[in-house]
Amino acid sequence: LRQLVASLAGDDAIDLDAHARERERLADRRLRAGRDKRAKAGHVDELGPAPVIPDEPDPEAKRQAEERARKAEAAAAAWELRERDRGDKVRAARDEASESARTLHAAEQRREKALETIERLRAALDEAERAWEACQVAVESAEVESGTANARLDQVQAEVEEQRAADPEPDPAEEVRAADQVLAEWQRAREERQVALAMAAQHRQAVEDAERAEADWRELDDQVRTMDARLARAVASLPMPPEVEITPELRVMLRTRSGAVVPIDQASQAERDCAAVGVAAGLCGRLRLLWVRHGALLDADSRRAMAEAAARVGVQLIVETVEPTEGSVVIVDGRVAEQGS
């Protein structure tokens, strides 16, 4: 069979050993490609449908939250400045009232001393009275000034309390917490989008790998199918006798006289010889002559069967034997020693 397929003309000639090696190589590659294809397709199935990528979080929301936090902190700082100014006013008014109180206390002390001077110095009554009167005037002036200062203190305190009521202390912590929450939500949305993008890229890569594996497998499968088809065409073009069949697996089958189809190595020798005559006749070309080298191994039935087969296909047999028979040609040392009728 190898010789027959190799002897075909043109592109139909095939070296079965090389063909078998190449087909085995391609089949092995196709098997690995099929496993790779199934593995990558399974990976795509494990990943599930392509993830939905959310929109990019609104940067304006982040900017507004940051601006909101900055305004809250600026408002708190401004309030602290105003409160510091109000405190300075209160302290200045309190210092002024304290100074007036010290002045009053000093005047009272001088008045007491004056009274003591009057008691001790009755003789200097006029002078002491004038001094007392002067101290009295000073005390009254100091009392007026002290009253004015206290009234000013009360007025300043009232103004400060009124200002505090109209300008309550802001709570920057609440605004900062709200801004931090907006920023955290913005950052979480961005991270979720990054994760979705990564998953989408992974899914896309897995799909591309599966598609490439599918394409590789199909290419190898096409090559194997092409080789099988070429071999099938070559085998179909062989000049086989009707009793010889060749399976797609290149097993040579023989239809026996009983009608059973068996592998050729399970047929009888005579049946194989007849099949060999039919096959060889297809290769004879114009010279319809066959040389049977193992004629010494043929019994009478085998020779008769071969002769009938040769007559059916129109070829002449030359049977090589070690014992002369009727009509045989005896050759000794390469020369014709005897020629039968």
pLDDT of residue 12: 59
What average pLDDT does this structure show over 132-149?
76
How far is it, in rounded angstroms, from Cα 294 to Cα 271?
Answer: 15
pLDDT of residue 163: 77
Confidence of residue 319 (pLDDT cuts 50, 70, 90): confident
Alpha-carbon distances of 159 from 77, 83, 183, 249, 295, rounded to whole Å: 21, 13, 41, 113, 143
- SS percent in the chain: helix, strand, coil, step 5: 70, 10, 20
Using an 8 Å Cβ cutoff, are 6 and 18 in contact? no
For the entire predicted model, the pTM comes to 0.48
What phi and psi values does residue 320 have, to the nearest 5 degrees? -90, 125
Q: What count of other Cβ atoms lies within 10 Å of the Cβ of residue 252?
A: 17
pLDDT of residue 166: 78
Confidence of residue 235 (pLDDT cuts 50, 70, 90): confident
Using an 8 Å Cβ cutoff, are 221 and 32 in contact? no
What does DSSP assign to residue 293?
T
Q: Which value, in Å, is the radius of gyration of the alpha carbons in the chain?
A: 63
Share of the chain above pLDDT 70, in %: 88
Q: How many residues does the chain have?
A: 341
Lookup: tokens for 140? 């009254």
Angle at 290 between CA 1 and CA 12, to 5 degrees: 35
